[in-house]
Structure 1
Amino acid sequence: MHLSAPTHSPRALLWLVAVGFFMQTLDGTIVNTALPTMARNLGESPLRMQSVVVAYALTMAALIPASGWLADRFGTQRVFFGAIVLFTLGSAACAASTQLDQLVAARVLQGAGGAMLLPVGRLTVLRGIPRDKFLDAMSFVAIPGLIGPLIGPTLGGWIVETLSWHWIFLINLPVGILGALATFRWMPNLRGSDLQRFDLSGYLLLTGSMLAISVAMDGLSSLGLRQATVLVLLLGGLAALAAYWLHALKHPAPLFSPRLFQVQSFRVGLLGNLFARIGSGAMPYLIPLTMQLSMGYSPSQAGMLMLPVALASMAMKRSTTRIIKKFGYRKVLAGNTLLLGIMIASFALMSPGQPLWLRILQMACFGAVNSMQFTAMNTVTLKDLDTSRASSGNGMLSMVQMLSMSLGVTVAAALLALFQGWFATPDPREALSAFRATFLCIGIITAWTAWIFWQLGSESGKPARPEHDAAEPG
């Protein structure tokens, strides 16, 4: 493929990367509010639509580890262009889908493109922007990525009622076409100076483990797999994970070095991220479903109800650093994780007759607590990594973020299916009891994660560093 010589414009490059980040994060949440409408159109149960969300997040988790090597091997312009093309084609295929299986496959294609937009864009900024301007550049790029998931549910609800669910994906087409053209004009085709051989064996073991465990957890609720099949997949996934660890110990350049886990704050922070985000990942899926199926809200009303979460989340960002400096990571994360679990469990108390102001207050409190959790978890995980391990550690954190988002939706859907059977409520509109039990269980799982964060050293708090929080889409 012939590459044009890009025009050197740092501001245009930053806008291009920022828009790519926005597209990636927006499509992670915009479908949540539209799931019941999409289910009716496709002839499916709304409680079997979680695969639409899981396919996107899991594909991103699987491909993020390979994105940096691909950029070093083929050049940032080629890979970023290919990512936009895949994302745009996937969006068009989503809009054209007439069956759930087709939609899931299209979301995999869309996720394959989305997985490379942020890592490759961030790598280009790192190599193309002077180091004294890098922090300001990444802060600029991060803003659209933070806005995307915040406005996604509200925008999705409005589009579903005003147009149709297909436009959730069709709006990506003009943006994708313009982004592809802009890539040739402003994205430099930078390559790595010291390209190492890609750890393909380790990559296949790690991604195979993620896929097997995720499919196993989703098997009973959505795929209709037998218990024996689920057990085999789960054991196979755990075996592949153990095999990767043994492989990485003896490989000269593993995908993710076991040396990362010698840093206690990284070890604890990564495990805490994985399990605490199950609750945070489940809520954007559960709340719009509950509001529409059991509380009588329309798609746009359910989407608007997510606005207090977004506003409180943004407002809390400014206070988080000050609170961490005063109390330290250990106390803040252990206490806030426990509080987050309680907030999630409090949604089990919802009923259709409660006043609107109480619902808004509940949403705002959840948004504030969740925002502090994200920022504190990100910074404590990466803060003690030296320069040689920072890039690998950030890549592993990004992968875990997407994996736990996928697991959150999968666990929530599995619990919903279980409680539906227990309460004998095949009609989703009568399933409020199943939703309540699911919120309670997710809250308990999240609260238990406080014990993981309590294992942190009792060091004094340190300021949250914006470069770590920049990668956070939540």
Structure 2
Amino acid sequence: MQNLDSTVVATALPAMARDLHEDPLVMGVAITSYLVALTVFIPLSGWMADRFGAKQVFMAAIATFTTASVFCGLSQGLAEMVASRVLQGLGGAMMVPVGRLLLLRRIKKDELLTVTTWLSMPALLGPVMGPPVGGLLTDLVSWRAVFWINVPVGMLGLLLVWRIIPPLPRIIPPPPDVPGLALVGGALAALMFAFETLGRGLVPNWVALGMLGLGVVLTTLAVRHCLRVRNPALDFSLFAIPAFSVTVIAGTVFRVGASMVPFLVPLSLQLGFGASAAQSGMISFATALGAFAMKPMAQTALRWVGFRNVLVWNAVIAGLMVMACAAFRPGWPIPVIFSVLLVGGLFRSLHFTTTNTLAYADVPQPKLSAATSFYGTAQQLPGAVGVALAAAALQVSVAVAGRPAVTMADFSVGFLLGGLLMLISGPMSMRLPPEAGEGVVAGRRRS
């Protein structure tokens, strides 16, 4: 449901902008506000799951997300849309990490890769279905229908969780780190507000720069606080685990670049090629199709090549595939564009499967709640940064060139920047030992 929502919204942005009388690039805040709220509330998810029970929190999160989807579909202005998306973010923050925690507490280490692969495959149905469904609903019904489609999905999800998933025993956790949560949440919110508004004319530049400075100060205070208290909002002691630290740091850089792609592709096809929402959705479908096709092959690739080699060299290939999108022009044959997006999605999927598995490979059971909260934040923050960075790259390119509107040349700048970030993450993964993740993959071949 979450993945369907994010890809559907990106496809529907131009129609939303027309209906709400906003600039299509400004409407990027409809994506960013959700991702910011998601990131802000994720650090609390582990404590909530321990305190109130993972199953109960999971069901409450699904209900919140579904209700917020209805509000999104009823929105009459940008402010209402942003408020509804923030409520969605609250539900989503508890949904993904808590759902992952329900599985991680029941599996053995040598089952981790298999479980992670199966856990990711249903989530990939969202991106596979999102672009074509979003385009068709937008063209045939309304952009509002892309939110209302979450209602039957959410109701079915609640029924299945209630009937099938057994409850985990509750844990009496220590009190939550309220000052740490406030500092972390304030820092993330301030930084994302600055990224979204700086140089875009939404607020005076001094306000955006002030929020950027406030975000840097709060980030510094949050890190210092979390390093000093016993049960912090974000447990930085997890960075003593090499597999966790490398996947968080290098993976964050990779995800920032990769998160620019779902934002840039539908907009470039509609604004640069003149495609309809349905047409752009069907072409964007290639990225998710490639990602879905990789999942069954991930275990074989990791068994033969190893986690470190995949993270180093796959980042290079995936980055180059995104850079290839910078060459897209209206004269390109659609099958060629489809093929480039499909291959790019395949390699990005392999990277995500690798990092999602390796992050938990060496985490002890008592640290799982803290690890899911921390890694969940590290997974979602790049999404907000990537969308804001992509929108900023378009704005800067348009301003520097002095053009009245965005063109394919401006989208090329965004694709090149995203690919470069993904390339940079490759050398960062070389700090991993060659044997990293061996206990997770059965039958790992030694080189």
TM-score between the two structures when normalised by the length of structure 2:
0.90
State the shift of 1:141 in Å: 5.3
Give the aligned CA root-mean-square deviation in angstroms: 2.8
Q: Give the equivalent residue in structure 2 for 1:8.
A: none
With over 3 angstroms needed to count, the CA separation of the structure-2 counterparts of 1:142 and 1:312, relative to structure 1, is closer
Partner of 1:441: 417
Are the equivalent residues in 1 in contact too, given 2:116–2:356 (CA < 8 A)? no
Q: Select between 322-331 and 123-132 the one with higher mean Cα deviation.
A: 123-132
| 2:347 alignment partner, SS class | helix
Gaps of 5+ in 2: 443-447
1:62 aligns with 2:56: no
Does the aligned pair in 1 maintain the 2:255–2:379 contact within 8 Å? yes
Question: Which residue in 1 is equivalent to 2:229?
Answer: 251
The alignment status of 1:452 with 2:423, answered yes or no, reads: no
User: How is 1:403-414 mapped onto 2 (pairs within 5 angstroms)?
Assistant: 403-414=381-392
Deviates more, 1:402-411 or 1:125-134: 125-134
| Pair 1:174–1:323, CA change in 2 (3 A) | closer
Distance 1:231 1:313 in 2: 38
CA drift at 1:418:
0.7
Deviations 1:73-114 (A, max 9, x none): 334465344323322221111111111121111111122112
Deviation of 1:137 (Å): 7.9
Q: What is the SS of the residue equivalent to 2:11?
A: coil
Equivalent positions of 1:134-153 (< 5 A) are 142-153=120-131
Q: 278-287 vs 221-230, which deviates more?
A: 221-230
Q: Distance in 2 between matches of 1:461 and 1:252?
A: 29
Quote the offset at 1:421 in angstroms: 0.8
Q: CA shift at 1:155, angstroms?
A: 1.4
What whole-Å deviation, never above 9, does each CA across 1:366-412 have from its counterpart, x for those lacking one?
11111111122223333232333343223211111111111110100
Distance 1:327 1:251 in 2: 40
**Match of 2:248?**
270
Q: How does 1:45-444 map to 2 (within 5 A)?
A: 45-76=23-54, 78-124=56-102, 142-177=120-155, 179=157, 192-222=170-200, 224-428=202-406, 431-444=407-420
Asked if the contact 1:75/1:189 (under 8 Å) is kept, the reply is yes
The answer for the alignment partner of 1:20 in structure 2 is none
Which deviates further from its counterpart, 437-446 or 201-210? 437-446
Distance 1:434 1:130, change over 3 A: closer
1:243–1:91 Cα change, 3 Å: same
Q: Give 5+ residue unaligned stretches, structure 1.
A: 1-22, 467-474
Secondary structure of residue in 1 paired with 2:25: helix
Preserved CA contact (<8 Å) 1:76 1:188: no
In 2, Cα distance between equivalents of 1:363 and 1:401: 22
Cα distance in 2 for partners of 1:185, 1:312 equals 33
Contact 1:279 / 1:408 at 8 angstroms: preserved in 2?
yes
CA contact (8 A) 1:50 1:409 kept: yes
In structure 1, distance between residues paired with 2:134 and 2:313: 33
2:381 aligned partner, one-letter code: L
1:457 CA displacement? 2.5
TM-score by length of 1: 0.85
User: Aligned pairs, how many?
Assistant: 442
Amino acid at match of 1:410: A
Residue 188 of structure 1 deviates from its aligned partner by 6.2
